Amino acid sequence: MSGHGHGHSHGSGGCDHSDDKSGIDRGAEFSLYMKIDLDKVQCLNEQIDGSGKTVFKPWDQRLDKERVVESDADEELLFNIPFTGNVKLKGVIVIGGEDDTHPSSMKLYKNRPQMSFDDTGVEADQEFQVTPDSTGVVEYPTKVVRFSSVTHLTIYFPTNFGADTTKVYYIGLHGDFTEAQRQEILITNYEIRPNPADHKVDSFNPMSHEIQ
């Protein structure tokens, strides 16, 4: 895809091999996919329209290879992910494609809706070097303080391990969710019956208007 650069500088993002918990516990931790506004998710450079949305799925379906997104013009993929409330993002899991199609780097951007490849030159809120992971055992912990109030998350995969295209089967998001507070509309009830004190008028004296 022309018109956007291929940055290759990566921050030192650590990873956590959190595979010592039961499947039920992990499933509960990675339930934020239910808080994504899927109808508004965008995946740029996807081969098949709408396929990017399918990688956000339940933990117990993370190994489902039927639902996959593959990049089109080059190896880059960019996800714009709006939430239905406020998220404290604690970690990300990525199950990528086989061989060299697995992402090799990942950048996270907080609260930057409608990002495009032209916008990825700005500094990411966090960057990771990605390890090939076919089962979802590697979690990339975020800087929780920085990602404590997220309404929109952008995930950008700039590179893979050398293939022409990038594949992603699953993106798991670990964190806490808070419902968005609704704006209360204050309605003031005015008096239906007017207050005479608010409408002072001069008293009409018929004696002062005699016709000569």
Query: What domains are there in the chain, each with its CATH number?
Result: 16-182 (2.60.120.470)
Per-residue pLDDT of 20-29, as tens digits, reads 455 567 788 8
**Between the CA of residue 40 and those of 50, 82, 151, 152, what are the distances in Å?**
10, 7, 13, 11
Interval 54-113: pLDDT, tens: 999 999 999 999 999 999 999 999 999 999 999 999 999 999 999 999 999 999 999 999
**Beta strands 77-96; 167-179: pairing state:** antiparallel
Question: How far, in Å, CA of 20 to CA of 65, rounded?
Answer: 24
What pTM does this model have? 0.77
Residue 173 Cα distances to 36, 91, 105, 124, 141, angstroms = 10, 6, 17, 18, 10
Answer for the pair 72, 62: CB distance below 8 angstroms, yes or no. no
φ, ψ of residue 26 in degrees (nearest 5): -65, -40
Q: What are phi and psi of 18, to 5 degrees?
A: -95, 75
The answer to whether 158 and 120 have CB atoms below 8 angstroms apart is: yes
Return the sign of the alpha-carbon dihedral for residues 17, 23, 28, 33. positive
Determine the average pLDDT of the residues in 117-139: 97
| Mean pLDDT score, 110-138 | 97
Cα 121 to Cα 5, 44, 199: the distances in Å are 8, 16, 64
